[in-house]
Amino acid sequence: MSKMDFKSIRRDLHQIPELGFQEFKTQRYLLNYMKSLPADRLVIKTWKTGIFVKVHGTNPTRMIGYRGDIDGLPIQEETGLDFLSSHEGRMHACGHDFHMTIELGVLTHFVHHPIEDDLLFIFQPAEEGPGGAMPMLESDTMKEWKPDCIFALHIAPEYEVGTVAVKEGLLFANTSELFIDFKGKGGHAAYPHHTRDMIVAASSFVTQMQTIVSRNVDPLDSAVITVGKMESGTVQNIIAETARLEGTIRTLSKQSMESVKKRLEALIEGMKISYDCEIEVNYGSMYRQVFNDADWTNHFIGFLKDTNRNLIICKEAMTGEDFGYMLEEIPGFMFWLGVDSPYGLHHSKLNPNEEAIDFAISLLTDYIRTI
């Protein structure tokens, strides 16, 4: 395929972002493309809205895995592109349209130019939530086709096209969603003494949460608690009976995640007494840290140096990625791919440089041939 063909595929996919386990159009588009490829070495199996694609090698002794994620985000796009999202309130604001396109490019190459080993391409749904990696790992297909090693990439707006950033060990943080529901007693604004105001309770709790990291986490460790959404109340003269906080917890160690949650729950018990209310906490989707295997990561770093690619040994990030579940079971690594955008991940104006697509396809096909 020509370079423009893959950019065109990216633009097609960019227009149909879908949320986790709702990627029906996306799956159909991917399957239709795969049907255009020679079928003699391909075996395709679907799993929910995801896809497994096995490419038979010429003389296999092992299975090499590659994973790309396929879901979008609940964000209204503001890029002004000609190929804007056609789904209201949905956007590929984390680069999964790039991830899918690059994976299709690598798949296409090895269908036409097979290597000795078998290859497994995983198109995973629901990375943004509620989490597709862990249940996909537990699927019958994955048990039958469990690879011996596995790789993935994530776009990085802050790096230039042609740059690869990676490190051995911890790359992405442990993450947990956070949902806290408050219930008190509503009533007329003129009679606050007959009510239990949950706007006041929730606001106070947001403030108290800031002490969890500053006074309960080792300063040499790292943790972040963010409340990104708060809902409460109906009109200006009614005291709110309920409130809801939605946020995220991110830590660089499993121990800190446990410590943060323990302290959070202790504060909740105190808030129940202080504000005479009911409070429930739900941690939603929890993602394991992305921990890059030392041997495989250093093999990749050696390849990048030998082929004069622009390499950055980066620091760990508080980003969350459920690829961490796969790396717990299968040795491998994830790396950052530079896409040179002034807007960051999950931004409504994110517009990665499409030149990164062909660079990444070439990079990965060259690397896989060295394994």
| 23, 97, 127, 128: the active-site residue | 128
- DSSP for 2-54, written as a single string: -HHHHHHHHHHHHT----TT--HHHHHHHHHHHHTS--TTEEEEEETTEEEEE
Q: Are strands 42-47 and 50-55 parallel, antiparallel or unpaired?
A: antiparallel
Q: Specify whether 258 is catalytic.
A: no
| 69, 97, 241, 358: the active-site residue | 69
Q: For residue 48, is it left (φ>0), alpha (ψ between -120 and 50) or beta? A: left
H/E run at residue 271: helix 254-275
Give the whole-angstrom CA distance, residue 109 versus residue 107: 5
Three-class SS of residue 294? helix
Token pair, residue 49, equals 């809205």
Token pair, residue 41, equals 């070495």
Q: Specify whether 128 is catalytic.
A: yes
- DSSP for 104-169, written as a single string: HHHHHHHHHS--SSEEEEEEE--TTTT-SHHHHHTSHHHHHS--SEEEEEEEETTS-TTEEEE-SE
Q: Which residues have a catalytic role annotated?
A: 69, 128
